[in-house]
Structure 1
């Protein structure tokens, strides 16, 4: 299907080398027939003194080139008959090609296939070498963003499978300069490698061909970061540790922001977690009850671990969604009580968190958690030095960790099957427990929700987004951002409606409402007056930039 899409595409760079060859072949064939037809017509008129019509000339050329012969009835006098004979002759050629495809070509299917011919023209693209996770997840993300790429896959069978499905994949050894050249490494802007011990060799070889090449490496742990940076790797990412930190930050970074500068009549920002059994699942943000609520403003939310401020009306709500809602605390409480399947906002840090699994991810999560809460660690390996030694899929182990008295459980065990069983067991023992989970397979995210998880991050999905972020020059290791609410002078916006100011502001922050006589209003129709103040919300980094701009003005 991807190949059909490319053939029908309008941009020449979408064509593969093979498609270019077919196109050039067709143009060359048509041009050759035309030239021969004109030459035959001129020769018969000028040289033979036996003029032929252009149709008779075309017929003679086609009959000659297809080796069909002219037959005893040649020549033919009428235009229609000449066209008919040309059609018949071309039909014979088509039948010949079909015979080759059906009967002859299958005999040679084991012949080596050159996948390079399927690559489109490349420039300023991404070269991916030996990606060891869900390759399709990564490549689909790049194609969704219309990012050019070449995957260099060492396994020929896997490379052919991906190429047959329409991906830009070739087989080859990433340590070979020749194979890197086949991926147009000299024209690439970014190298993504996931090759373990071979990473340094691959990066050094690629840099010989392209000194300006940026290199990002995925690795199992952070222990080799210094060595890889010395070899020329610009960014190193340990996905397990990264997701462990994100889960810990999500568990210990509650959103509870009060409007600065006075009580403001109870105006706050709270987080609302869409739970696994919510009726909001699959609903567009723009169609949700929160979007059109007269007393509340939907600030943004986390979607699959990604903070979006503001949220797009077309974003779909899922059990993994954490919405940020601004308004009067009483109104937020009313919405939570009226809406099924959402979790009450947590306005204080959890007293205790249980971490199940002390691998690379669990250790990273524990390191973050110890600065914010009491932590109980669980692992079946005594060498990991956990607080509780035991199998996390056994009720006795979780009871020993006082799971029913914990505020949150972070699950970072290595096996997804164990993860799902741990989640189900923990939910049965502690119905109100907040469960945050890491899975290695994207397809296991939905079962994790059904088992009872509140928040799930997939290593494969996060890695794909990290690559996409790096392509766009964003930070690869981007932790969960803290939201800040700032009170600012409204004089620069005087005379404008609140709705217009919201639409014209930078995407990193948004105007929630205005403060007038100690009361907060978030109504779109409100007109800002010079004596008012505005409430602006955004990530901590975005608000620092906003404050600098305000100071400069």
Structure 2
């Protein structure tokens, strides 16, 4: 019944093979009944000389095909009508058996169906060939973006579970060309593979079937990237290293990004702390967005940089807002918001890295040379500065946690990460704690334990895949945000509010320079002699200079 209810409002292309079969069956049944009704009505009038209404004929046909008995029409005098009635009876029995097999039995049997029958028609879709993380997080992300996909899962029970939950999943071996063909690999545009040591075999098999495939591969180590590139992988991602770099960048990103040519325009990061009353508030309704002299340049949302953020984006304890405007106004608005962090330094000078594996090494490499870094690991083979249990206070004190300005937690176990966060917070209430967790569900407990910023491997990987589908880059550092001054002629006559209204272009107007002073009030109307202060990523500013700035 669930499958039938899903048919309403669906485009035929979105229907699964089974749903299409049900539609064909229903249409065929209706057609047979209507045809028999017309023929029976004609026969009663011309052969039996007993004309009757079409509705009476419809009733008799239904009674015959369902074998529930006849009304007052029987018996029939002519041979032709008797043969016709027998034909209807046989047809009814056949349809009854088909109905039993197609509709009734599948409703009561747990696994009677080929999972391929549940796939909708695919073209230009994503094939996910194994995924060793939380598959539901990835597939939910793709479905939210309305991205077509097929997951090839080698574990039969897992494939059935995902298919029963409504996902486009089949059971198969991604190294088998026939199984990839079942996922329409020849029509796919992107292959995502997370198959460990089998990755090379999966990629080569897929490229034999479709040499135009774009391939993204997850790998445990950055050391495998050259080999994967050699076999045709377009992008290799080591999730732990990726997040390690991101946490390090976040720990050392300058709070004051810059000023507009010496004018009093400051760009500052503001972190929404755990327990903030702003939790769940949309950007549109936040105090910063409503401030006439401030501009929301960008926002970090679970590790994704959005320049500028959408008014519909909602603030969470993992949100970092990048705000531009007069420094005094930023300070005032920050104080009014309450429970946000406004760092006093432009960057962290002493950083402790807990966990010196793949992620910890990536974090160390991403930290500036002038930053004092102390690494911790429980294994002597890791060659960390401090060897010991990161959850023990003695170990954290030996690493200088009480004097550190930031702690980057990159341990592999989520339970260990949470305990490390809690212990560090108890030893140093003012340290900024940036943590990595594997399970997306552990992000909230990490905040409660005392973390200021948390990234989930599962969530980041899912969003990275979704971004790759659209050819976007994710995890770009905030240091890419630039302030430039440009000629304001393209905006003459517009208010700053109008100039800021487009949130899709990747850059935003901070204010105008007039008579040596910067004006950021959204009601200010741009005049011919003004200069425009624009903020955005490197790429967006370059696009602005090519397409908008005429100076």
Q: Provide the aligned C-alpha RMSD in A.
A: 2.6
TM-score by length of 2: 0.91
Q: 1:386 aligns with which of 364, 369, 384?
A: 384
Q: 1:399 aligns with which of 397, 400, 410?
A: 397
Q: Which piece of structure 1 moves more, 416-425 or 478-487? A: 478-487
1:454 partnered with 2:452 = yes
Give the corresponding residue for 1:84: none
Q: 2:433 aligns with which of 432, 435, 448?
A: 435
**2: CA distance, partners of 1:162 / 1:193:** 18
Give the corresponding residue for 1:228: 228
Q: How much does 1:477 deviate?
A: 6.6
For the 8 Å contact 1:274–1:321, the answer to whether it is kept is yes
For the 8 Å contact 1:380–1:390, the answer to whether it is kept is yes
Give the corresponding residue for 2:486: 488
Give the corresponding residue for 1:83: none
Matches within 5 A, 1:178-327: 178-262=178-262, 264=263, 266-327=264-325
**2: CA distance, partners of 1:537 / 1:106:** 58
Mark the CA change 1:444 to 1:506 in structure 2 (over 3 Å): closer, same or farther.
closer
**1: CA distance, partners of 2:73 / 2:489:** 94
Q: 1:503 aligns with which of 501, 507, 530?
A: 501
For the 8 Å contact 1:349–1:372, the answer to whether it is kept is no
**Number of residue-to-residue matches in the alignment:** 532
Q: How much does 1:371 deviate?
A: 2.8
Q: Which piece of structure 1 moves more, 479-488 or 16-25? A: 479-488
For the 8 Å contact 1:270–1:345, the answer to whether it is kept is no
The secondary structure found in structure 1 opposite 2:289 is coil
Mark the CA change 1:505 to 1:452 in structure 2 (over 3 Å): closer, same or farther.
closer
For the 8 Å contact 1:259–1:535, the answer to whether it is kept is no
1:7 partnered with 2:7 = yes
Q: Which piece of structure 1 moves more, 115-124 or 500-509? A: 500-509
Q: How much does 1:166 deviate?
A: 0.7
Give the corresponding residue for 1:118: 118
Give the corresponding residue for 2:330: 332
Give the corresponding residue for 2:80: none
For the 8 Å contact 2:304–2:475, the answer to whether it is kept is no
Matches within 5 A, 1:330-479: 330-475=328-473, 478-479=476-477
1:542 partnered with 2:551 = no
**2: CA distance, partners of 1:319 / 1:188:** 38
For the 8 Å contact 1:16–1:117, the answer to whether it is kept is yes
Q: Which piece of structure 1 moves more, 199-208 or 110-119? A: 110-119
**1: CA distance, partners of 2:220 / 2:370:** 26
Q: How much does 1:320 deviate?
A: 0.8
The secondary structure found in structure 2 opposite 1:270 is strand
For the 8 Å contact 1:388–1:397, the answer to whether it is kept is yes
The secondary structure found in structure 1 opposite 2:501 is helix
**2: CA distance, partners of 1:528 / 1:427:** 48
**2: CA distance, partners of 1:305 / 1:429:** 27
Q: How much does 1:43 deviate?
A: 2.5
Give the corresponding residue for 1:172: 172
For the 8 Å contact 1:379–1:392, the answer to whether it is kept is yes
Q: Which piece of structure 1 moves more, 508-517 or 43-52? A: 43-52
Q: How much does 1:307 deviate?
A: 1.1
Q: Which piece of structure 1 moves more, 474-483 or 454-463? A: 474-483
For the 8 Å contact 1:246–1:480, the answer to whether it is kept is no
Give the corresponding residue for 2:522: 524
The secondary structure found in structure 1 opposite 2:402 is helix
Q: Which piece of structure 1 moves more, 53-62 or 346-355? A: 53-62
Give the corresponding residue for 1:64: 64
Mark the CA change 1:325 to 1:29 in structure 2 (over 3 Å): closer, same or farther.
same
The secondary structure found in structure 1 opposite 2:455 is strand
**1: CA distance, partners of 2:330 / 2:9:** 49
**2: CA distance, partners of 1:24 / 1:32:** 12
Q: How much does 1:356 deviate?
A: 0.2
Task: List per-residue Cα deviations over 1:144-175 (Å, max 9, x = no partner).
Answer: 00001111111111111111111111111111
Q: How much does 1:53 deviate?
A: 3.0
Q: How much does 1:512 deviate?
A: 1.0
For the 8 Å contact 1:253–1:482, the answer to whether it is kept is no
For the 8 Å contact 1:513–1:522, the answer to whether it is kept is yes
For the 8 Å contact 2:241–2:362, the answer to whether it is kept is yes
Mark the CA change 1:504 to 1:440 in structure 2 (over 3 Å): closer, same or farther.
closer
TM-score by length of 1: 0.90
**2: CA distance, partners of 1:444 / 1:239:** 17
Mark the CA change 1:169 to 1:261 in structure 2 (over 3 Å): closer, same or farther.
same
Q: How much does 1:9 deviate?
A: 2.5
**1: CA distance, partners of 2:221 / 2:432:** 27
The secondary structure found in structure 2 opposite 1:233 is coil
For the 8 Å contact 1:115–1:163, the answer to whether it is kept is yes
Give the corresponding residue for 1:43: 43
**2: CA distance, partners of 1:272 / 1:2:** 47
Q: Which runs of 5+ in 2 are unaligned?
A: 77-88
Q: How much does 1:482 deviate?
A: 2.1
Q: Which piece of structure 1 moves more, 13-22 or 503-512? A: 503-512
Task: List per-residue Cα deviations over 1:472-501 (Å, max 9, x = no partner).
Answer: 122367445521111112233222222222
Q: How much does 1:121 deviate?
A: 1.1
Q: How much does 1:341 deviate?
A: 0.8
Give the corresponding residue for 1:163: 163
